[in-house]
Amino acid sequence: MSSPLGTSLCGVSLKNPVLAASGTYAYGVELKGLVELEALGGIVVKGLSREPMDGNAPPRLFETEGGMMNSVGLQNIGVRAFVREKLPQLRQLDTAVFANVFGYSVEDYVEVARVLEDAEGLAGYELNVSCPNTKHGGLFFSSDPALLEEVVTAVRRVAKRPLIVKLSPNVARIEPVAQAAAGAGADAVSLVNTFVALAVDAHKREARLGGGFGGLSGPAIKPIALRMVWETAQAVRIPVIGLGGIATGVDAAEFLIAGASAVEVGTASFWDPQAPVRVARELERFLKEEKISQVADLVGTLTFRKGGT
């Protein structure tokens, strides 16, 4: 008898639809011995760039009333060091591994994808398009459908593995950018990334984070993330991966009901590294309690009360 949590994402078989989100689980291997990594549906490693990056000045994290803010600045060892030092260990895991890719120009994204294409052990890629495109006046790929289409199209040409595009919530409407990603060849979209935010120390009269602005995540953003996941699922025919404040199995179920085919757990892992595994187990318990035989039966089942939408 197959597991009620078993599912497929972009042709990749997953033990369950719960993945560890990029930027919150390091490269995955650092948690080995602390977390049963093979109980996860998958791991999205922290963002990889063309060259190593030191990230932003400290402090990098600040706990808010409803979550946390971060300004890590995408610190990473670079794609070549990842392939050389981390991927051999990840290949030994019986779980899907997705590489998060970012850059500051189309050429950056393409080069990172090209290096990863020559390596074994990855299930697919997640493009972080919330980076400023320095060749276009500091615009973000994520906020301009034309720029987004350009970068996804370019990466699609070199990427044979499944391609997920991670969308930013910092846009007026999510549907046009989701449709641009799908039209350019994305196999799935994931959302939401963090909300641009500011924390102030009133006594010092200065920003609390070394990078100034930071990304807000955690329970505070969950209702907005749910709304945007639902909107995206209505707008595209490719799978949607939901994230934003997921800390329990019921949270995960809510995103699936709103239209997500899988979910990612991020901020909760900072206070409980076991959170993604726990969420998966709680989701299985939820299915049993609700007498739902397969997790796919939850996807897209949201209804609104009369006059609700």
Looking at the annotation, which residues are catalytic? 131
| 3-class secondary-structure state, position 19 | strand
Dihedral angle over CA of 157, 161, 166, 171, nearest 10: 30
| Alpha-carbon gap, residue 175 to 225, rounded angstroms | 13
| Alpha-carbon gap, residue 149 to 178, rounded angstroms | 10
> Of 166, 168, 196, which Cα lies nearest the Cα of 69?
196
| Alpha-carbon gap, residue 66 to 69, rounded angstroms | 10
Structure letter (DSSP) for residue 255 = H
Tokens found for residue 80 = 């070549």
| Alpha-carbon gap, residue 181 to 79, rounded angstroms | 23
The residue to which tokens 């120009």 are assigned: 105
% helix, strand, coil for the chain, step of 5: 35, 20, 45
Angle at 187 between CA 183 and CA 190, to 5 degrees: 100
Give yes or no for a contact between 41 and 15, defined as CB atoms under 8 angstroms apart: yes
